[in-house]
């Protein structure tokens, strides 16, 4: 199946800017942004981020407040704090052999950086990769990572896979199957996540945030500092 998959990818793979670099910092930024945000939204934000902070050293020298403000709109703002801490660690100590030692870097992100930046034969297994492997019964190597990302995102879909367009369909034991809808993420509108976002946006704009519960949560994540009842971004 590997040959069919890679041939399909050469013809149909998505043209994404972070696939054209082996800079571990640029790849780190893309992977952190992509964790909870759609590719289309990440593309311009990744480019803008690297224009502002083109190296791990430049990001490390930024203040947490600058990083949090730049992250606004990408959601799950704790990722910005983790990314900044990782940059500071790397700027001071270099890239470790075990990338999972970096702040906020788990097994998937470590595997992705190891593969795309350092050429390690390790497969980063996200939801799309796991789905393709489970349905085909195949275990692909690291050279198939980007192809598996794209196949899972565009063809081997969660509920109704497009088997007629899949290069692996002839030998796939799951061909033609349909799947139960996945449990949807809770709505953002009216959620505590939205309250946190509103409070953080107010603080970032220099306004007074009054949602005490949201501020306590934001402070716990290192996104704000509360003194004498007033919240500010960390300096």
Could you give the CA distance from residue 170 to residue 25 in angstroms, rounded to a whole number? 39
Q: Based on the number of CB atoms within 10 Å of its own CB, is 145 exposed (0-12), middle (13-18) or buried (19 or more)?
A: buried
Query: Which three-class secondary structure state does DSSP give residue 6?
Result: helix
For the annotated catalytic residues, the residue numbers are 31
Q: State the Rg of the chain over Cα.
A: 20
For helices 78-93 and 24-34, the axis angle rounded to 10 degrees is 160
* Both tokens assigned to 59: 């990001």
**What do you get for the CA distance between the two ends of the chain, in Å?**
52
């Amino acid at each position: 199946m590997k040959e069919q998959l890679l041939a399909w990818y050469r013809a149909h793979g998505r043209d994404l800017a972070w696939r054209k670099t082996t800079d571990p910092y640029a790849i780190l930024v893309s992977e952190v942004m992509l964790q909870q945000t759609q590719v289309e939204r990440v593309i311009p934000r990744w480019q803008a981020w690297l224009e502002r902070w083109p190296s791990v050293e430049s990001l490390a020298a930024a203040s947490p407040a600058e990083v949090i403000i730049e992250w606004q709109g990408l959601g799950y703002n704790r990722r910005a704090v983790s990314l900044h801490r990782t940059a500071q660690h790397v700027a001071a100590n270099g890239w470790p052999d075990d990338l999972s030692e970096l702040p906020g870097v788990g097994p998937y992100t470590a595997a992705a950086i190891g593969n795309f930046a350092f050429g390690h034969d390790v497969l980063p297994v996200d939801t799309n990769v796991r789905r393709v492997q489970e349905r085909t019964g195949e275990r692909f190597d690291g050279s198939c990572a980007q192809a598996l990302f794209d196949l899972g995102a565009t063809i081997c879909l969660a509920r109704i896979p497009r088997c007629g367009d899949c290069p692996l369909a002839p030998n796939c034991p799951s061909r033609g199957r349909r799947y139960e809808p996945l449990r949807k993420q809770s709505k953002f509108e009216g959620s505590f996540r939205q309250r946190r976002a509103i409070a953080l946006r107010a603080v970032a704009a220099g306004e007074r945030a009054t949602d005490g519960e949201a501020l306590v949560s934001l402070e716990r994540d290192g996104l704000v500092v509360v003194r004498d009842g007033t919240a500010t971004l960390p300096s």
